Amino acid sequence: MTKKESRQQVYTLLVEVGRNADDGLPKEATGAALMCYASGVDEAEAVRETVAILKQADLAPLDVSGYGTLDERLAEGHDISDDEKALMARALKENSVIVAQMTPFFDKA
């Protein structure tokens, strides 16, 4: 009997979050953008899992933009570093969501 091949893929997602009590963002921030790598059988599942995990972390997801799988991004000509590929491989191996980068937003007043 052979092992069934996983249908999981890793999707690159950009998630914008607002403020929430105990969200861990800097006090003066109005929100943040998070670059995430999330595994799923399709992009919709990856988005659902990412939003659920961010909510568990007391973050307030507002919007999610999907940038596709590694193959899709390469086909579009994206320059993807070895570090980024390693994080994608880890997300696939662990069937997880990895937040690779967080950029807080601040009002310029």
User: Over pLDDT 90: what percentage of the chain?
Assistant: 87
Q: What is the value of pTM for the model shown? A: 0.89
Q: Which domain holds residue 94?
A: 9-105
- Give a yes or no: residue 2 inside a domain: no
pLDDT digits (tens, 9 = 90+) for 26-71: 999 999 999 999 999 999 999 999 999 999 999 999 999 999 999 9
Report the number of distinct structural domains present in the chain.
Answer: 1
Residue 37 half-sphere exposure toward CB, CA atoms < 13 A = 23
- Give a yes or no: residue 65 inside a domain: yes
Please return the burial class of 90, using the count of CB atoms within 10 Å of its CB with bins 0-12, 13-18 and 19+.
middle
